Structures are given as C-alpha cells and as structure tokens.
Amino acid sequence: MRATLFDKLWDQHVVTSREDGLDLLWIDRHFLHEGSHHAFAKLAARNMKPARPDLSFAVADHYVPTRHRAEGIADATIKRMVDQLSTNTATNGIRLFGMNDPRQGIVHVLGPEQGLTLPGLSIVCGDSHTSTHGAFGALAFGIGASDVAHVLMTQTLWQKRPKRMRLTVNVHLAPGIAAKDLALAVIARIGADGAQGCALEFAGSAIRALSMEGRLTLCNMGVEAGARSALVAPDAVTLAYVTGRPFAPTGEALERAATAWARLISDDDAVFDREVTMNASEIAPIVTWGISPEDALPVTAALPDPTREANAGKAAHIIAALDYMGLRAGQPVSEIMVDRVFIGSCTNSRIEDLRAAAAVLAGRKSRVPGLVSPGSSLVKQQAEQEGLNQIFTEAGLEWADSGCSMCVAMNGDGLAPGERCASTTNRNFKGRQGVGSRTHLMSPAMVAAAAVMGHLADVRPLLEGRV
Amino acid sequence: MQEFVRLTAAAVPLPYANIDTDQLIPARFMSRPRSQGYGDFLLHDRRKEAGFQLDDPAYRGAAIAVARRNFGGGSSREAAVYALVDAGIRCVIAPSFGDIFAANAANNGLLAARVTEDAAEDLLARLLASPSEVTVDLQSCLIDGHTQFEVEPVARIKLLRGWEDIDLTLSHADAIAAFTRADGERRPWAVPVTRAF
Ligand code: SF4
C-alpha cells in the first residue's frame, strides 16, 4: 500500500539497482523516427545490432511532406532523412511505418492507434512528447540520442526515480472548453518548469470525464510543464480504446492484462512530493501570447505589463516576449490578428480534435489561409468518411497528409518571418514554426474561431446552437 | 567521454529565462551528421539579435555559460548539447534545467549546475558588469569557492569519471535475461501481437 501509480509502474520494470540510486529499467516499447539517425550512428560505431528489434517501431513523421506525396520528395535533405530511416531500420530488422504505409502517422498518434501503446508498459522515444503515452497509465518518457542508442543495444535504460507530483482537477470542464485549455491553464499556473524532475499524475473528476483523445492531449502537454512523464490511471475508457487495436492483446491475454491494469491506481494513502488542486469549472478558453507555453491567458484577458512586474527576470521575459511577438503591453488578447492557422501535431490531430474544429467551421469561411494535417493516415481516412475534409476545404483551409508538419517546420511546411499563426501545437518557442515565426497555442475549436474571425477570439459564442 | 572535475574559464552571461532547445539549435540544422560539428549552430537565430552576448568579443573563448531559469526545456534533441559542447561550452549554470537536457548533458560531459535564482542573478550581474573567469569545482560543488551548486548525484559521478553507461549495462546481461524470463510469465500481454504485420 501507500504506493503511487507511478511507483507501481516503475517497480515492475526494475531489472537491477545500483548503489548510486540508479535503477536499470526494462523498456517494453521503443519508438524511432527520422531524428534517430544520431543513435543509429552510435550503434554502427560500436558495431552492434539491436538487442530486441521486435520491441522497436519506427515511423516517418518529422520530415515527411504533407502534400503531393505520390510524387516523391523533392528536397534532397528531407529525402535523405526519410530514406536514412528506411535504411537504418531495414539494416537493423526494425519495423517501419514508412511514408506511404496506410498506417503512417505522428509517432504519438500512431502508437496508441495501433495498440502498441498499452497501460502498464514502459515506453521511450527520442522525443520529449513521449509523455503523451502516459495517458494510458504507461511509464513513458522522452530521451536523447545517447539513451536511444543505449535502448537499442540493451532494451534497458539507467534512470533515477523522479519525484511524484499529482494534479487533481475537480468538477468538470464547461461546454466548449477542451483538454488543451486545461493543459494551458495548468502550465500557466505551475510554470513551464513547474513539474521539472517529476512524474506528473493527473487525477480528479475532470480527468476521469476526459476521452482518450483528451487525456492524450493533456499528457502530451505535461512535458511543457517540465514533467518527465505524465500519467492518467487506466480505467474503462482506456480498456475500451485499447480493445481490438491491431497490436493489442486479445482473448485470455487481454483478460489477464485487464486484471493487471485495474491495479494501476495510486493507493488512497499514497504520498506525493507535491500536490496541486484545480477547479475545472473556472477554466476559460486559453491562448498563449508569448514565447513559452507558460505565457498563457484566458482569451478574455489583456496582455501583461512588464512595468507592473516586481521580479526582474519575469519583467525581462515579458519585454522580450512582447517584442518578439510584435505585441504591446495591456493589449486585449482578442485584438490580436492572425495571418494563418494550423490544425495538427501530436497534441491535437486526432479525430475528436478535427471534429471540434469542424463543428466551428461548418458553413463558415476562414479569413486567413491555413493547413489541417491529420495525426495519422487512418485519422485522415476516418475524417474523410465523416466529411470533415469537405468542411475544412469549403472554409478555405488546405487538407493535407499526416506528419509533424508545421509543428516543427522540418518538412518545409512553416511560417514566413514575422507571420502569426493560431496553432493547435504544443510549443510557441521562438522560431519553432520557422525563423521569426509567431505562434499562439490553443485548442482546435479556438483555432477554428481564430480562422473564422481573423483574430484570436472566444469560441463559445460561435458554438451557440451547434453543440 | 571527457571527464569533468574542475574548470576555470571565461564565462558568458545569457540573461534570459526559458532558453529552450529549439533556440539552442534550430530544427533545420539537425539533419547533419555530428561529425560535421554543431558549434556554429549554437543559438544560431538568436546570435543575430543586437547585443546578444555569445558573440561579444568581451566573452570570447567562454567555456561556461550562465542563464536564467528553465534552461534547455523543450525538445529532447541531444543536438542542443552537441551545439554547446562543440562550441566549447563545458558547463551551464542556471536555476533550473529541462530534465531531458540535463540527462543528455551528463551523457556528453557537459555539467548542468543548478544554483538559486539569487546566485544566478549575482553571477549574471557580475559578468555583465565586467567579463571575468569563473571556477567550477565538481568535487566540492562550489562556484568560485563559495557558491554552492546542485547536480544530480548520478550525473556528478558520470561526469567525474567520464563514464558511458553502456559498458556497465552489458555487464548486467544475466540480470536482464533473468528479468525477461520472469516478466514473460508475469506479463505475457506486454509483448506486441505480431499478427498485425
Ligand atoms: S508533432 Fe511536433 S511535438 Fe509532436 S512529435 Fe512531431 S514535432 Fe514533436
């Protein structure tokens, strides 16, 4: 007893422990993408092969084009990155969901969709948003290239047990308020480093009421609060999602799994290093205005004024952020005009996200150009069956293929210097969506509202009579 | 990996919070092999800003950088550490670091030294007023002999000895084999179903 969900997961994966406090963890799933080339180079330098190629899965997502795929990849560098992944995975006997695979998608969308992500697993990937998979009650965290190489060589990783933090969100989110709003409200509250060094468990009635899609969005953003991993205890919603997925257990194995998963909860008397409680009903639609996800405010608010900030470091940050974003202190958030919109990324590109945006856009026109990139080729297919693509294109937005796209601007999709984008992604860092790009993070419905209005806008009036 | 025990070197002040890994190395440079060197990409897009300290001749040859909170937050890209190391930086001093960044740093011989916000502000003020050398001692965890800093104990040992994990791990092959045998009984559902391919 007295164990947190996190400790239960951790303890099940400890192979051995070292005197200095490091545990050697067994890794159940390892995801790779084009960026893994540094790790494959390390493997080759040691003349080694993967210890368990059957537990690694690769996907082409970061660099793949989202338009005209059938014509191949025109840009030589991008082509080399995508081809290199094919070569590296083929040489090492690792399964690849390549660019033209019908199941291709963003790694953090594909894993859950294929049933590779399950409760109770340890999951790593050379990508910080691996925290996403914690939505299933899995021990999931991002790692760097040296550690990716270590996992390839040994299927294990030396780790120090992080601290445990629990964020309890009571009551329920109001209509029109999404998991993304909750995530941004959390980060605004605790800071972009608020959960550093911690495994962050989300609990409470507002979390239980979230769909898997919502939980994935929330855990995805956990890393933007600095968390090492994010977690939601598995429940009936989780089991229903997992059941029937291609790589998920079936029959007796599934029954045994479900019994084990039911135990994956924090005990009533479990002790956390830090606890924070929030009330979901107080959360309004949130947008970011600055260059860190913690620079987040309700859309109804006004921008901060550095002269009113006592802390010198914070005041300097506000000045730098306003300057970079081309905004002025005290300006109402809803006056911020946008040049472009983007709906996509591992944060908000699942079917529910596309439905939420389409609900706002149906029968309306976007005042600005924009791109909609579904999280996976299967999400794309489903959205087309539901006719969502038509709503987007009739609104004037471009309906593209699946990939990281404008989230990280590695594949050629991006903003021009100074352009301002309402985006469903997870990072508003300087230059994230291209050199000099200006990003405002928000939910898919809020991005749709910004498209319809041409400026950052409260989506709630636009939803009247629609939901 | 090069070991880190004690370093006396010029230090560059970077008086900014949230210097994330996208700033440390913009994504568009990450397709290059490491062998080409990543030093020129360090903070590439910020170096164009007027007054940005990294290229100020007063701080030339700095092997230590001092910054405000949440240094290296964001993406897991180890290339952010490669850029620092290849540009000659061996130690970053800041009030807090991104977790993955800190782990990557230790794997590449870079010390991420955590100090209080006040200590960081003092050091920044001093360096901005007059460029000078700073001494970082990983044995005593002291900066200039008086300011305490923190570093994960395991990162400290790794840095002091210049260790790489892999050799140690391979010596645990028996324990790993025993774990997988027992785990197969305990969690038969944990292996991916292969009928899917
Ligand atoms: S969509 Fe963005 S955050 Fe997600 S994996 Fe791709 S680049 Fe990373």
Which 3-state string (H, E, C) describes chain A?
CCCCHHHHHHHCCEEEECCCCEEEEECCEEEECHHHHHHHHHHHHCCCCCCCHHHEEEECCCCCCCCCHHHCCCCHHHHHHHHHHHHHHHHCCCEEECCCCCCCECHHHHHHHHCCCCCCCEEEECCHHHHHHHHHCCEEEECCHHHHHHHHHHCEEEEECCEEEEEEEECCCCCCCCHHHHHHHHHHHHCCCCCCCEEEEEECHHHHCCCHHHHHHHHHHHHHHCCCEEECCCCHHHHHHHCCCCCCCCHHHHHHHHHHHHCCCCCCCCCCCEEEEEEHHHCCCEEECCCCCCCEEECCCECCCHHHCCCHHHHHHHHHHHHHHCCCCCCEHHHCECCEEEECCCCCCCHHHHHHHHHHHCCCCCCCCEEECCCEHHHHHHHHHCCHHHHHHHHCCEECCCCCHHHCCCCCCCCCCCCEEEECCCCCCCCCCCCCCEEEECCHHHHHHHHHHCECCCCHHHHCCCC
The answer to whether B191 faces chain A, any CB pair under 8 Å, is yes
Q: Decide if A127 contacts A33 (C-beta within 8 A).
A: yes
**Of A98, A58, A93, A107, residue with least CA distance to A79:** A98
Same domain, A303 and A337: yes
Query: How far is the C-alpha of A217 from the C-alpha of A194, rounded, in Å?
Result: 18
pLDDT at B91 over 70: yes
A296 near A188, Cβ under 8 Å? yes
pLDDT band at B194 (very low <50, low <70, confident <90, very high): confident
For residue range A42-92, what is the model confidence (pLDDT) as tens digits? 999 999 999 999 999 999 999 999 999 988 999 999 999 999 999 999 999
Do A20 and A149 share a domain, yes or no? yes
Considering only CB atoms, which chain A residues are within 8 Å of B78?
38, 126, 144-146
- pLDDT score of A70: 86
Q: How close, in Å, is residue B176 to chain A by CA atoms?
A: 6
The total number of structural domains in chain A stands at: 2
Domain-located, residue A129? yes
- One domain for residues A252 and A303: no
B2 Cβ under 8 Å from any chain A Cβ: no
**Second-level CATH architecture of B6-163:** Alpha-Beta Barrel (3.20)
Domain region containing A88: 5-261
- Tens of pLDDT, residue by residue over B162-182, are 878 888 899 999 999 999 999
Q: Model confidence at B1, in pLDDT bands (50, 70, 90)?
A: confident
Distance CA A276, CA A298 (A): 20
CATH of the domain at A50: 3.30.499.10
CA distance B186 to chain A (A): 10
Residue B135: C-alpha distances to residues A245, A407, B10, B117 (Å): 56, 40, 9, 19
Per-residue CA distances from A177 to A174, A210, A369, A439, A458 (Å): 6, 11, 25, 20, 10
Asked if residue A407 has its Cβ within 6 Å of ligand 1, the reply is yes
Q: Is B44 on the interface with A (CB under 8 A)?
A: no
Residues of chain B contacting A310 with CB distance shorter than 8 Å? none
- Asked if the structure places residue A196 within a domain, the reply is yes
Rounded mean pLDDT of B109-126? 97
Q: Rounded to whole angstroms, how far apart are CA atoms A303 and A335?
A: 10
Q: Which residues of B touch A432 (CB under 8 A)?
A: 22, 27
- Ligand 1 binding pocket includes A106 (Cβ within 6 Å): yes
Residue A280 located in a structural domain: no
My answer on whether A400 and A298 are in the same domain is yes
User: Between chains, do B75 and A250 touch, taking CB under 8 Å as contact?
Assistant: no
A213: how many CB neighbours lie within 10 A of its CB? 23
Average of per-residue pLDDT across B37-65: 94
A128 domain residue, yes or no: yes
pLDDT value of position B195: 58
Shortest-distance Cα residue to atom 6 of ligand 1: A404
Shared domain for A54 and A187, answered yes or no, is yes
* Residue A428 within any structural domain of the chain: yes
Point out the residue among A226, A314, A408 whose CB comes nearest to the CB of B98.
Answer: A226
Tell me: do A28 and A116 sit in the same domain: yes
| Cα B120 to ligand 1 centre (Å) | 32
Same-domain status, A339 and A257: no
Q: How remote is the CA of residue A251 from the centroid of ligand 1, in Å?
A: 34
The pTM (predicted TM-score) of the whole model is 0.96
Residues A253 and A326 in one domain: no
A175 and A319 belong to one structural domain:
no
Q: Return the residue whose CA atom lies nearest to atom 4 of ligand 1.
A: A346
CA distance A103 to A105: 6
A252 & A316 share domain:
no
In a domain, A67, yes or no: yes
- Residues A445 and A341 both lie in one domain: yes
**Closest CA of chain A from B33, distance in Å:** 7
Tell whether A290 and A223 lie within a shared domain. Answer: no
> Which residues of chain A are under the pLDDT cut of 70?
1, 467
Pocket probe mutation, ligand 1, options A34, A97, A110, A127, max atoms within 8 Å of Cβ: A127
Determine, for residues B69 and A313 on separate chains, whether the beta-carbon distance falls below 8 Å: yes
Can you give the residue ranges of every domain in chain B? Answer: 6-163
* Assembly ipTM: 0.93
Q: Is B48 on the interface with A (CB under 8 A)?
A: no
Nearest to A419 by CA among A405, A396, A402, A437: A437
Q: CB pairs below 8 Å between A and B: how many? A: 202
* Token pair 């909170």: residue: B69
Whether A351 is covered by a domain: the verdict is yes
> Is ligand 1 within 6 A of the CB of residue A295?
no
